[in-house]
Amino acid sequence: MPSLPKLSTVITWFLYSIPIYIFVLDPLLRGFFPGLLPASDSDSEPRSNKDIFDFDDAAAIGPGLNLTDDSFISPEDGVPFDCPNAGGYRVHLLSRAPLIMYIENFISETEANHLLEVSIPNYKPSILYDGHTERIDPTKRLSDRALLDRDNTVRCLEDRARAFQGWRPNLYIERMWAQRYNTSGHYRHHYDWTGSLARGGDRLN
């Protein structure tokens, strides 16, 4: 019988599954299987291969997205890294609508333990963000989060997430955070969309 993964590892997998879905799987599936998901716009014409593979005019960078500002996204800045602890992952497609994928071992045990360790001194209460202001409201969201430095391990994860989505241009990896839920922790139903792609750095989902 396979041994069960540690709870902390499961939580970390879950944490990373959310941005991976938003930034990687949903755009990827929409690109390659346009009929699979509900259309995100009113265009019901089937897309040609040209539309799928010609990204140049498909996703102009929003005017508000500052590609050198690494407080929000992780720009590709050419800093070298290597990933000796990568485990190799397996993808399980659990449901197509809604899209639910489980990426087994996306983060290896060694990498997960590293993330847990470096996060401990940096946890702060998680915030709610409405597109303009940040606030703490434990009735809606109760957890702690820690911004992860872009060290070698984090760069490996960013690279893995980009590679998984096929290096599609004009999609950026948001800075990665560790998230800690205590037994009373929770996050009420919500969506990660603040209303405008043009504002820059908003999420596609």
Ligand X SMILES: *[C@@H]1O[C@H](CO)[C@@H](O)[C@H](O)[C@H]1NC(C)=O
Q: Which residues of this protein are in contact with ligand X, per CB under 6 A?
A: 66, 68-69, 142-144, 182, 185
Q: How far apart (Å, rounded) are the C-alpha atoms in residues 42 and 55? A: 19
| Cβ proximity to ligand X, 144 vs 174, nearer residue | 144
Q: How far from 72 is each of 6, 82, 137, 172, 175, CA to CA, in Å?
A: 30, 23, 22, 10, 6
125: which 2 tokens? 């209460």
71: which 2 tokens? 């407080």
| Cβ proximity to ligand X, 142 vs 204, nearer residue | 142
Q: How far is CA 1 from the centre of its chain?
A: 31
Let me know: does 171 contact 26? Beta carbons within 8 Å: no
State the minimum distance, in angstroms, from the CB of residue 57 to ligand X.
23
State the minimum distance, in angstroms, from the CB of residue 126 to ligand X.
8
| Cβ proximity to ligand X, 73 vs 161, nearer residue | 73
State the minimum distance, in angstroms, from the CB of residue 68 to ligand X.
5
| Cβ proximity to ligand X, 5 vs 185, nearer residue | 185
State the minimum distance, in angstroms, from the CB of residue 137 to ligand X.
12
